[in-house]
Amino acid sequence: MYLIDRQTQRCYIVSELLSRNFIEGDTTMRSMILFATSSLMVVMAFAPVSAQVAERDLAELCSKSPMNSRCTDYSTEVALEKRPGEAGGCIVTINGVDTDTVCKLSIVGQTIVAYYEFGDKVSTLDNEKATKEIQISPSNIKAIRYRETTKDNSTARAVNTFVFGLPGLLMTRDKKVSEIEIEYNSDSETASQTTPQKTEPETLPASSSEQKKNRIRIVVKRKTGENLLSQIQELTGLKAEALLGPR
């Protein structure tokens, strides 16, 4: 079932005027006009539907393969579940400002891409949050930090204890997870560092240096973390340092 918009209504009016008032005596001409107008209405009816299908297909393509050439300059709201990779709690630090959110970290070609949720829930995304992405060239990465730890699994422990009793309590262990932190330069910082300087570079105080830091720290399943670490080390040629600080 197709909706009839104003342009389609105009086609009906033009058709009636042409057939009744202007060419009443010419049956052949009237038939040709009616055929042309009907064909135009069919094309106009299908056009919005085709456009919606094409837009939906492009959105799906760009959510799965953002580096595809068709996705250049394409922007749309995409939920995190549509992004590649495994979701995990994370902290995104941009110019020293921390954002506690949910992320996915993925390797796309020769680029490390982080997707993270932001803002409020969006009705068109089934009440999920939209995402932003950060593309990091391996040459921009300053340091990789890694730590293997465990994550509290008290919810599953309570359920299993309720269902299975003491065996459920004893058999439910904390989750094995990995924490990965990537510290990187923005493209503008990299460009300024490679530009020859005529004067001695200014030494920034610690507080100013901290304000410029860009980092992504994400917690994922142990196996996922091991695989990501291996790929990132191979891309960058850097060895991971021990991740210190609060867990």
* pTM, rounded to two decimals: 0.62
> In which residue ranges of the chain is pLDDT below 50?
1-4, 14, 18, 21-23, 46-49, 51, 191-204, 206
Q: For residue 86, tell me if it sits in a domain.
A: yes
| Statement to judge: residues 19 and 141 lie in one domain | no
User: 231 — phi, psi (to 5°)?
Assistant: -65, -45
Q: For residue 151, tell me if it sits in a domain.
A: yes
Q: What is the pLDDT of residue 208?
A: 53
| Statement to judge: residues 194 and 145 lie in one domain | yes
Give the total number of structural domains in the chain: 2
Whether the Cβ atoms of residue 90 and residue 216 lie closer than 8 Å to each other: yes
| Statement to judge: residues 39 and 128 lie in one domain | no
| Statement to judge: residues 33 and 122 lie in one domain | no
Q: What CATH number does the domain containing 133 carry?
A: 2.30.29.180
| Statement to judge: residues 36 and 97 lie in one domain | no
**pLDDT, tens digit (0-9, with 9 covering 90-100), for 105-141:** 999 999 999 999 999 998 888 899 999 999 999 999 9
Q: For residue 70, tell me if it sits in a domain.
A: no
| Statement to judge: residues 91 and 145 lie in one domain | yes
Whether the Cβ atoms of residue 167 and residue 155 lie closer than 8 Å to each other: no
Whether the Cβ atoms of residue 151 and residue 177 lie closer than 8 Å to each other: yes
Q: What is the pLDDT of residue 139?
A: 95
Q: For residue 1, tell me if it sits in a domain.
A: no
Q: What is the pLDDT of residue 38?
A: 59
| Statement to judge: residues 82 and 17 lie in one domain | no
Domain that holds residue 122: 77-242
| Statement to judge: residues 30 and 116 lie in one domain | no
| Statement to judge: residues 49 and 167 lie in one domain | no
Q: For residue 72, tell me if it sits in a domain.
A: no
Q: What is the pLDDT of residue 240?
A: 96
| Statement to judge: residues 140 and 43 lie in one domain | no
Neighbours of 188 (CB within 10 A): 8
> Last residue of some domain: 64, 86, 110?
64
